[in-house]
Chains A and B, each alone.
With several copies, the nearest count.
Chain A
Amino acid sequence: MFLTSKKDLTARIMRDKIYNLLLQDKRIDGRHPKSLRSITIQTDLIAKADGSALVTMGGTKILTGIKVEVGSPFSDRPDEGIFTVNAELLPLASTSFEPGPPDERGVELARVVDRSLREGKALDLKKLCLVEGEKVYVLFIDIYVLDYDGNYFDPALISALAALATLKIPKYEVVNGEVKKTGETFRLELTSLPFTVMMGILGEKFLVDPQIEEEKVLDVSLIIGTDEKGNIVSIQKNTSGPIPVNLLDTILDTAVEKTEEIRKKFLQEVPVKLAAEGEAAEK
C-alpha cells in the first residue's frame, strides 16, 4: 500500500460504511467506538491441564491450557522458573487459518502474550524454583484460537492470565537433590495483572477491540498492554499502515482506561490470588 490506500472495491465500500458510522461514534455491531465486546471467562474446564480457561470476546473464542513440568533453569537465571507461550490459530476457527506449524501470525500472537506477561511482571518466576541451578518449574502455556471473529490478542492474554490464576501446581519435595511429587498442589500468586487492548485506526478516528469486518478495512492497528498502575508494558503495531503521531496520546489514554475495564471484569470472574503489594514491587 501507499500509506492508507486500499484498492479493492468491496473493501472500499465496507471501509466507507464503517468510517461513516465512526464519524457518528457508531459501529456495525452497534457498539460505541470505545466499547469492548462482551467477555466471558470459564476456568478449570480441562481436567487434564494444570490450569485452563476458555474466554470469549464477542465471537472470538480462545482456549488456553497450561501443563507444568520440571526442568533445568536457564544458566543465566538459575533461581527462576520458566514459562513458554505457544499459540495455534486452529483451522477450524477461520478460513484464513491453515493447518500446519504456526505461521507468522501465530508466532506474533504467542510472542505478544509472552512479552505482556513477562514485561507486565504477572509472575514472580523466583517462586517457581525448586533447586537453584538444578530444577525449576516449567510452565507450558498453550493458546488455541477456536473461533476467530477479530482481535485474538486481548482474549488470548485474558485466557492465559485466567489459566495462570487458577493454575494448580504440583508440589514437590526435594530429597537428596532429587525431586518427588507430593501429590499436593499449590496456587500461584500473580504479582501483576497486565492486559492488552487492540486499537484500530481509520482515517483520523480510532476504535477499540475490532471485530473481523472492521479488522479487514482498518488503516492500521496496534495492541497496547498496560498494568494496574497505568504503565504501558507492551506495544505491537501488527498490520501495515501508518499511525499518525498526533493520534497516539488519545489512543494511549483509551488503552489505559479499557484495560482497566478488562481488569475489573477479570477480578469479578476469576478467583485470582494477588501477591502482597510489597512483594510485587520488587523484580
Chain B
Amino acid sequence: MGDSKPERLIDENGRRIDGRRPDELRPIKIEVGVLDKSDGSAYVEFGGTRVFAAVFGPREAHPKHLALPDRAILNCRYHMTSFSVEERKPLGMTRREVELSKVIREALETVTFLEEFPRASIDVYIEVIQADGGTRTTGLTAASLALADAGIPMADLIAAVAVGKVDGQLVLDLCDVEDKYGEADMPVAMAPRFNSIVLLQLNGRLTPSEFKKGLALAQKGISEIYKLQQEALKKRFSTSKPLEV
C-alpha cells in the first residue's frame, strides 16, 4: 500500500485516485462526546484518517510555577499511534509531532477565551489512530469540537482541511498518496465567522495565483466542514449514543 507512485493521480475524466472530483471532500464522520473520562471529546474521520481528541480542564495548572496570573495555559499534544502510518512510528514524540503540536496549539489559542481562567490549564490531546493525509487538519477540527464539548468558551469553532497540487491540478482534502506524490500540500485552518486563518503551512511549490485559488478551495471545504461540525454539536446536545468506530 502506497509503496510506489501511481502512474497518474488524476485520470482522463478528472477523477482522483479515490474517485473524487478535485474540489470534493472525502466522506467525513464526526462524533462529539465519545470518551467518557475527559471533559470534552470528539472523534473525526476524513476518509481513512481517524482521530480522537480529548480536552481536560480548565483545571489548576500543574506544576504551579507554570501558571499564568492573567490567563489559562493551553497545552496541546498531537500524537500518532505507532501503527497509524505505513512504517511503524517509534514510541515517543517525533520532531514532526512536536512541530504539529505547536501549530495546532497556536490555532486553538487564537479562538479560545483563555483570559477567563487565570492560573488554570486546558489540556488538549489529539490521538491519530490512522493516518491517511490531513491528520493535523482533522486533529484540529476534532480538537475544537472537544473544546466546545468541554464547555470552554470560544469565539468560533475551527474548521480545517488541506489543499494541494497533484498532477499539476489543485485539489481539496489530500489523501496520503496525493500528499506523498503530489507537488504541494497546504493545510489551512480557519475561524469561519471571522474569515481568519488560524493555521497555515505550505509544504511544496505553488505559484502565487495557485496559492490564491488553493486558498479559495480550502475556504469552500472549510465551510462544508463547519456545517458538519455544527450538526455534530447539535446532535451531541440532543442525544448521547455510544461511538462505533
Please tell me whether chains A and B touch each other in their complex, using a CB distance cut-off of 8 A. yes
Residue in chain B with minimal CB distance to A256: B208
Question: Looking at the complex, which of B17-25, B30-38, B225-233 is the stretch in contact with chain A?
Answer: B30-38
Q: Is the interface of B mostly helix, strand, loop or mixed?
A: mixed
Cβ contact within 8 Å between A237 and B199: yes
Q: Which of B59, B195, B245 has the most chain A CB atoms closer than 10 A to its own CB?
A: B245
By a CB distance below 8 angstroms, the chain B residues around A203 are: none
CB distance from B17 to the nearest CB of A (A): 15
The count of chain B contact residues (Cβ–Cβ below 8 Å) is 76
Cβ contact within 8 Å between A92 and B35: yes
- B57-92 interface bits toward A, Cβ cutoff 8 Å, 1 = contact, 0 = none: 001000000000011000001010111111010011
Question: Among the listed A49, A67, A233, which residue makes an inter-chain contact with B204, where contact means beta carbons less than 8 Å apart?
Answer: A233
By a CB distance below 8 angstroms, the chain A residues around B29 are: none
Cβ contact within 8 Å between A245 and B197: yes
Which A141-167 residues have a C-beta within 8 angstroms of B? 142, 144, 146-149
Q: A1-B114, A65-B83, A95-B37 are in contact. Are A234 and B203 (CB under 8 A)?
A: yes
Distance of A101 Cα from B201 Cα, bound (Å):
25
Distance of A237 Cα from B91 Cα, bound (Å):
27
Cβ contact within 8 Å between B110 and A242: yes
Interface residues on A, range: 35 or more
Cβ contact within 8 Å between B83 and A108: no
Q: Which of A69, A99, A235 has the most chain B CB atoms closer than 10 A to its own CB?
A: A235
Cβ contact within 8 Å between B109 and A245: no
Cβ contact within 8 Å between B37 and A243: no
- A99-142 interface bits toward B, Cβ cutoff 8 Å, 1 = contact, 0 = none: 10100110110110001000111000000000000000000101
Question: Looking at the complex, which of A2-10, A15-23, A262-270 is the stretch in contact with chain B?
Answer: A2-10
User: Nearest 8 pairs between A and B by C-beta?
Assistant: A65-B83, A242-B196, A92-B54, A235-B202, A49-B83, A240-B109, A240-B106, A92-B125
Interchain Cβ contacts under 8 Å between A and B, 19 examples: A8-B70, A45-B245, A47-B1, A48-B1, A67-B88, A92-B52, A95-B59, A104-B102, A142-B82, A220-B110, A232-B211, A233-B205, A236-B103, A236-B201, A237-B198, A240-B109, A240-B198, A242-B191, A245-B219
**Chain A interfacial positions (CB closer than 8 Å to B):** 1-3, 5, 7-8, 42, 45-50, 52, 54, 59, 61, 63, 65-67, 69, 86, 88, 90-95, 99, 101, 104-105, 107-108, 110-111, 115, 119-121, 140, 142, 144, 146-149, 220, 222, 227, 230-246, 248-249, 252-253, 256
